Structure 1
Amino acid sequence: MAENRVGQLRWRVQVRRHPSAFLLAVQLLSLILYPLFDEMRSGRVLFGALGVIALMLAVWVVNRSPAKVWVAWLLVGPALALAVLSVVLGNDTLLVVSSALEALLYLYAASSLIAYMLGDHRVTTDELFAAGATFTLLAWGFAYAYFVCQAWYPGSFTGALRPGEPRTWLELLFLSFTTLSATGLGDILPLSSPARVLVMLQQFAGVAYIAVVVSRLVGLTMLRATK
């Protein structure tokens, strides 16, 4: 009994010390699992459930950072409610509005984590996890923005396969990751002006994130290692 309590206490300590690690783990887990269920309705439900967990973790991470947590709850509450209603009612408009709120939430959480990492001149383990979590938050945020753009401006994106059809969520997320990482594979392309503006904004965000945040963490880590 005592050993179980000690184990639970250690687990709680690790959770409180490294909240960014759990957010990063959920995001990566959803990436791994989603292709396995991409063509199944149950897969969409599973991905939606992981998205809910990620939203809750994003709010938790915001609470650990200097950002105002009430702003995150103001976004996550309506986003989840509209997402559920869109499934129950089969209303695509509600899904688009929910996606817009989720895009704002993920980008807000990413900005709060950046503020957290730039808040001092020490590099902690959680800040290193936060660097990875921030990347995934930015990728998810822009992917939701692409989804909204495609709904508002049909034909905004095309691809090597089925060029005349709307892009799937996984394709838009893939575009977001390749744009943010400056990989730019080119099999998913923006066509409309709003879509191209979004891609340019994400390209700028990706370059700025690497140049300012990641390079700073690397420099501080090397400085600490030399002491």
Structure 2
Amino acid sequence: MAEAARSSRLIDRARRQPSAILLATQLLGVLIYPYLGESRAGTSAVSLFGLLVLALAVWSVEKTSWTVWVSIALGAPSVVFTLCQLMSEAAVWRAWGSGFEAVFYFYAAFSLIAYMLADRDITRDELFAVGTTFTLLAWAFAHLYVVTQVIWPGSFTAAVNADEPRTWMELLFLSFTTLSSTGLSDVVPVLPHARSFVMIEQVAGLAYVAMIVSWMVGLTVARARAREGSVDKLN
């Protein structure tokens, strides 16, 4: 009975904080990818698990029939094309799969942003959502870069194996460094389309930080004014 009650509490906590579960999954993926190398089976398994958690998180944040159908419309093709990658090394499957995953991650990121901005109080799950949205955008642009180098070969170069297509870990690293504006990546966009997408991610990263900071400051000021108003009424 005690174990059942403990399990029930854990499930209830996960339902109340879906953003925390998704953020932990994303960060765990970052740590797991280096051990997988570039094996199709390993990366596809992690990708499928990430899509499952992502769909659950989006559903938990916005429980509407419209959300369910959008998640199915974007998630189902991503799963199908990811499975196709296990059976074939053709770049076209990776391009289609990453294309749908990019759209899915962008959709999830915007859903979380709407979820945060709709509330007048900062909850614990919304604080996790701030970090989760950042990782979702990083994943979305990384998948966009995968599609880019399939359509325009040679879009990215690097200090090591400069003429070869960039690996998933390299493109994800580029995405994180671009979105955070640290500029530490040794992966460089060299063709026009790749540079265009990188510039858009740079703008998105700056806009996201500015929006989140202004949102949190605005709520903090509003809460302080409401508290002062309550004190004045009591006096």
Say whether the fold is shared (TM-score over 0.5): yes
Q: Name the structure 2 match of 1:117.
A: 116
Tell whether the 8 Å contact from 1:59 to 1:72 is kept in structure 2 after alignment.
yes
Q: CA deviation at 1:47?
A: 3.0
Task: Give 1:62's match in structure 2, choosing from 55, 58, 63.
Answer: 58
Counterparts of residues 1-227 of structure 1 (less than 5 Å): 2-38=1-37, 41=39, 44-66=40-62, 68-217=67-216, 219-220=218-219, 227=227
Give 1:152's aligned amino acid: I
CA distance in 1, matches of 2:164, 2:106: 27
Larger Rg: 2
CA distance in 2, matches of 1:46, 1:220: 43
Tell whether the 8 Å contact from 2:44 to 2:86 is kept in structure 1 after alignment.
no
How many equivalent residue pairs?
A: 223
| Secondary structure of 2:188's aligned partner | strand
Aligned-pair RMSD on alpha carbons? Answer: 1.9
Please identify, of 105-114 and 157-166, the stretch whose mean Cα deviation from structure 2 is larger: 157-166
CA distance in 2, matches of 1:7, 1:80: 33
Identical aligned residues as a percent: 46
Q: Name the structure 1 match of 2:232.
A: none
Deviations 1:142-167 (A, max 9, x none): 00000100010011111122222211
Pair 13,87 (structure 1): closer, same or farther in 2 beyond 3 Å: same
CA distance in 1, matches of 2:20, 2:224: 22
Please identify, of 97-106 and 77-86, the stretch whose mean Cα deviation from structure 2 is larger: 77-86
Q: CA deviation at 1:5?
A: 2.0
Please identify, of 29-38 and 123-132, the stretch whose mean Cα deviation from structure 2 is larger: 29-38
Which TM-score applies when normalising by structure 1?
Answer: 0.91
CA distance in 1, matches of 2:214, 2:50: 26
Q: CA deviation at 1:90?
A: 3.2
Pair 84,119 (structure 1): closer, same or farther in 2 beyond 3 Å: same
Q: CA deviation at 1:15?
A: 0.9
